[in-house]
Each structure stands twice: as structure tokens, then as C-alpha cells.
């Protein structure tokens, strides 16, 4: 915590700015749960309109929403370089991301060109504003392994958005980009591995040792892993131009890099100094176990073509990677970031002395975070069965909705405590 505690108050963004991202994200997760419960066939195949809507409710509405809010908060701390024009960047990117994700989801569900068009314009504006501001901040940033990971993740995000816009133009019937199958493949690779995983990797170097009191990541690994994974992703995107054996080596190396990160993280967590129960730690462990399971499911598909061609394989991979890995790690982080910010801004605003305001641990009741974790875990387990037995979707979606609702209530309870003790959001 040393770096965060040493952060000058004037340098930190006002609480309201990242908070709007963190409080909007669970609403998209609630929507995703309802969609699964109401349309259990959604996960019968990856190409159903509901599956594509669900994917983007999770990747844009939940994951990107939290990740942009967290970056806004982290850049001044880990890179020593805040986003320029912070208030404007936060307001525009938050509104454009929320409305744009809703429009794109509506586009997938209705097939209406106007909905796709609104999604393209809004998401395009929101992400361009954020990426340009982050690029300025990162260009001025002090070098380090976390900053390095964030740089590659932002490149991954930019490529994902570019390809996503091209694919949405295709769906709207306005343009046919060349090599559509490769573009979809590259969009998924840069989106899930380039953006989501590389950001988690970069942030893990900082927060796993800091929050979970583990030894640091081995410097040799943290120096090269993000760059190597990004280079492999570029080769993966160019796979149609490579000899088949080279493409297989690239994919196998990507899988090995992902496994190495997950296994190292679990090993460091098992060597943590204080073995006290901690919901964030459980979320990270679930995330790493799901990441390993998603690589295992992928390996089976390489060896067994009938499984690779089945309708169940892509949704299962998506559930493990997006739900089990990414959503778990991001939720675990929310449970550290929001209580910390509530405490930090309260003591800075009130110039409070220890004992006169709630501690970070008092901001959200531990037992309610734990209940929410159990609901999330149950939702993940139930979801694994949905590609095989769609009827299970009603229960899985119901539990996911309850879990997301409780997450939202838990985050709101920290804000209520903050305001109740005299904190101001204006």
C-alpha cells in the first residue's frame, strides 16, 4: 500500500470520477444475468444474437467499464503521470462507453443498422478520447513492468476497437472488410488476450505483492512476458500467412505464456506472508484456476477436432475466460479499490485522524462480500453446464443476476458509509 498511501491528494482524481465507472459496471452484469435467464438458448452457440450481446455486455459494459475507471486511478500512482484533461476524459468516455455498449447490444439483439451505427459512433468517440489521453500519460510515465504491461494492453485495446468497428460496419450492412474470418479471429485475440489479460498481467505485478503480501513476481518473467505475449498475438493475427506448423507453434507458445502467468501467480499467493482469509485473494485464485482451465479446454480442442467443431466448445471457452477468469479478477479488484478510495478521500477531505473515520476494512462488510463471492462461484459453476444443457441457463442466469445485484449493493454500501461520515462527491 506504500505507493498509494504516499499519493498526494491533489494528484488523485476526485472520487466521483472513477466511482461512476465502478457503479455502472455491475448494471451490465445484472443485464447479462437476466439475458441468460430469459434466453437460456443464448449459449447454445457463439453466433446467436444473444451470445454476441452477452459477450459485449460483459466485455464492454462490465470489464472495460471497470478497467478504464481503474486505469484512471492507477496511472498517477504507478506511472506518476495522471491523464490530461481528466474530468472531461472521464465524463465523455464514461457516457460514451455506457450508451455505446447499450447501443451495440441492441444492435446484436435487433439487427437494426441504426443501433449498430449509434454503437460504432459512441464507442469510437469514447475509446478514442480515453486511448489518446492514456497515450499522453503513458508517454510521460516513468518506466516499469506495470507501465510496460499497460502500454501493450492499450495497444491491444486500440486494435480490438478498430477491428470491432469494422465488424460492426459489416453487421450493419455498410461495409465488407477483407478477410472477415481473420478479422473476427484477431478481434477476439486482441480483445481477450491483448487487452484484458495483458492489463491483468501488468496490474498483477503491482497489486498481487502489495495487497496479498506475496513475494514479488520473478523480475525475469515480469520484464519479458507482456511483450512476448503481444508479439505472439501479432503473429497469431497473421496466422493465415504463416505455414501451418509455424501457426501451431505460435498458438502453443501463447498458451504456455498464459499458463506460466497463472501458475506463477498461484505459487506466489501460496507463499503470502499473512495467511488471513481475504475475498480478493479468493477471487484471484478462482480467476487463475479458470484461466488454467480455459487453456486446458483449448488444448483438448487442438487434439480433438470433433470437440473444436462442436457448438459447445466456444461458449465454454468464453465462460471460463470471461466469466471465470476476467470477471472474477475484476470483481476482486473492485473490493480493494472502492473501499480504499472511500477511506482515502474521507481522510483527505476531513483531515481525519485515525479512529475518527471507518477503516478501509469497515467500508464493506466482509460477510456480505463473502456471500457475494459464493453466489459468483455458484453462477460460474452453473454456467459451465449451460452449453450442454440450455435449461440450466434459467438457474445460472438467476444466480448471476443475484450475484451482480449484491456486488452493486456492496459497492453502494461503501459510498453510503463515505457520505454518512461527511465525505463529499461533488
Shortest approach of ligand HEM to residue 177 CB, angstroms? 10
Among 397, 372, 376, which Cα is nearest to 386's?
397
DSSP line for 316-364 = HHHIIIIIIIIIHHHHHHHHHHHHHHHHHHHHHHHTPPTTSS--GGGSS
Shortest approach of ligand HEM to residue 170 CB, angstroms? 6
Among 134, 122, 182, which Cα is nearest to 158's?
134
Residue 320 is a binding residue for ligand HEM (CB under 6 A): no
Shortest approach of ligand HEM to residue 12 CB, angstroms? 26
| Nearer to ligand HEM (CB atom), residue 375 or residue 386 | 386
Shortest approach of ligand HEM to residue 173 CB, angstroms? 12
Segment 277 to 316, residues that bind ligand HEM, using CB under 6 A: 314
Residue 187 is a binding residue for ligand HEM (CB under 6 A): yes
Residue 67 is a binding residue for ligand HEM (CB under 6 A): no
Shortest approach of ligand HEM to residue 209 CB, angstroms? 27
Write out 19-70 in H/E/C secondary structure. HHHHHHHHHHHHHHHHHHHHCHHHHHCCCCHHHHHHHHHHHHHHHHHHHHHH
Q: How many whole angstroms from its chain centre is CA 44?
A: 24
Using CB atoms within 10 Å of the CB of residue 178, give its burial: 0 to 12 exposed, 13 to 18 middle, 19+ buried: exposed
Per CB under 6 A, the segment of 52-60, 299-307, 333-341, 381-389 that binds ligand HEM is 52-60
Beta carbons of 294 and 350 less than 8 angstroms apart: no
Residue 167 is a binding residue for ligand HEM (CB under 6 A): yes
Task: Return the C-alpha torsion angle 271, 3, 341, 265, nearest 10.
Answer: -30
Pick one of 191, 324, 387, 397: the residue that binds ligand HEM (CB under 6 A): 191
> What is residue 145's three-state secondary structure?
helix
Among 13, 21, 83, 329, which Cα is nearest to 199's?
329
Pick one of 36, 72, 134, 165: the residue that binds ligand HEM (CB under 6 A): 165
Residue whose Cβ sits closest to ligand HEM: 164
Segment 93 to 152, residues that bind ligand HEM, using CB under 6 A: 104, 119-120, 123
Pick one of 34, 184, 235, 289: the residue that binds ligand HEM (CB under 6 A): 184
Shortest approach of ligand HEM to residue 123 CB, angstroms? 4
Binding site residues, ligand HEM, CB under 6 A:
46, 51-52, 55-56, 59-60, 64, 104, 119-120, 123, 157, 160-161, 164-165, 167-168, 170-171, 184, 187-188, 191-192, 195-196, 314
Amino acid at each position: 500500500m506504500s505507493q498509494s498511501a504516499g499519493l498526494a491528494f491533489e494528484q488523485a482524481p476526485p472520487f466521483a470520477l472513477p466511482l461512476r465507472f465502478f457503479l455502472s459496471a455491475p448494471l451490465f452484469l445484472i443485464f447479462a444475468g437476466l439475458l441468460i435467464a430469459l434466453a437460456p438458448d443464448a449459449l447454445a452457440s457463439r453466433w446467436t444474437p444473444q451470445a454476441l450481446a452477452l459477450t459485449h455486455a460483459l466485455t464492454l459494459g462490465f470489464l472495460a467499464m471497470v478497467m478504464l475507471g481503474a486505469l484512471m486511478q492507477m496511472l498517477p500512482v504507478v506511472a506518476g503521470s495522471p491523464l490530461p484533461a481528466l474530468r472531461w476524459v472521464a465524463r465523455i468516455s464514461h457516457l460514451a462507453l455506457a450508451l455505446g455498449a447499450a447501443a451495440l447490444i441492441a444492435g446484436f439483439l435487433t439487427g437494426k443498422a441504426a443501433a449498430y451505427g449509434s454503437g460504432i459512433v459512441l464507442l469510437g468517440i469514447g475509446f478514442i478520447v480515453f486511448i489518446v489521453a492514456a497515450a499522453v500519460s503513458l508517454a510521460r510515465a516513468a518506466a516499469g513492468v506495470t507501465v510496460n504491461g499497460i502500454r501493450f494492453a492499450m495497444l491491444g485495446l486500440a486494435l480490438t476497437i478498430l477491428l470491432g468497428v469494422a465488424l460492426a460496419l459489416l453487421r450493419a450492412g455498410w461495409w465488407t472488410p477483407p478477410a472477415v474470418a481473420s478479422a473476427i479471429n484477431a478481434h477476439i485475440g486482441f480483445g481477450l488476450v491483448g487487452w484484458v489479460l495483458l492489463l491483468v498481467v501488468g496490474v498483477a505485478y503491482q497489486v498481487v505483492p502489495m495487497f496479498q503480501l506475496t513475494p514479488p513476481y520473478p523480475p525475469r518473467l515480469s520484464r519479458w512476458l507482456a511483450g512476448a505475449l503481444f508479439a505472439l498475438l501479432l503473429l497469431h493475427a497473421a496466422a493465415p500467412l504463416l505455414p501451418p506448423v509455424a501457426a501451431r507453434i505460435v498458438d502453443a507458445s501463447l498458451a504456455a505464456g498464459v499458463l506460466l502467468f497463472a501458475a506463477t501467480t498461484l505459487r506466489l499467493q501460496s507463499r503470502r506472508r499473512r495467511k488471513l482469509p481475504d475475498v480478493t485473494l479468493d477471487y484471484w485464485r478462482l480467476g487463475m484456476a479458470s484461466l488454467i482451465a480455459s487453456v486446458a479446454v483449448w488444448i483438448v480442442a487442438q487434439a480433438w477436432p470433433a470437440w473444436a467443431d462442436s457448438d459447445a466448445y466456444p461458449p465454454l471457452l468464453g465462460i471460463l475466460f470471461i466469466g471465470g477468469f476476467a470477471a472474477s479478477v475484476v470483481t476482486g479488484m473492485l473490493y480493494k479499490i472502492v473501499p480504499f478510495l472511500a477511506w482515502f478521500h474521507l481522510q483527505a477531505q476531513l483531515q481525519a485522524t485515525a479512529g475518527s473515520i471507518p477503516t478501509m476494512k469497515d467500508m464493506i462488510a466482509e460477510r456480505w462480500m463473502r456471500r457475494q463471492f459464493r453466489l459468483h462461484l455458484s453462477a460460474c459453476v452453473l454456467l459451465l453446464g449451460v452449453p450442454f444443457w440450455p435449461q440450466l441457463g434459467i438457474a445460472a442466469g438467476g444466480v448471476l443476476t443475484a450475484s451482480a445485484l449484491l456486488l452493486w449493493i456492496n459497492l453502494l454500501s461503501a459510498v453510503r458509509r463515505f457520505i454518512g461520515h461527511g465525505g463529499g462527491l461533488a
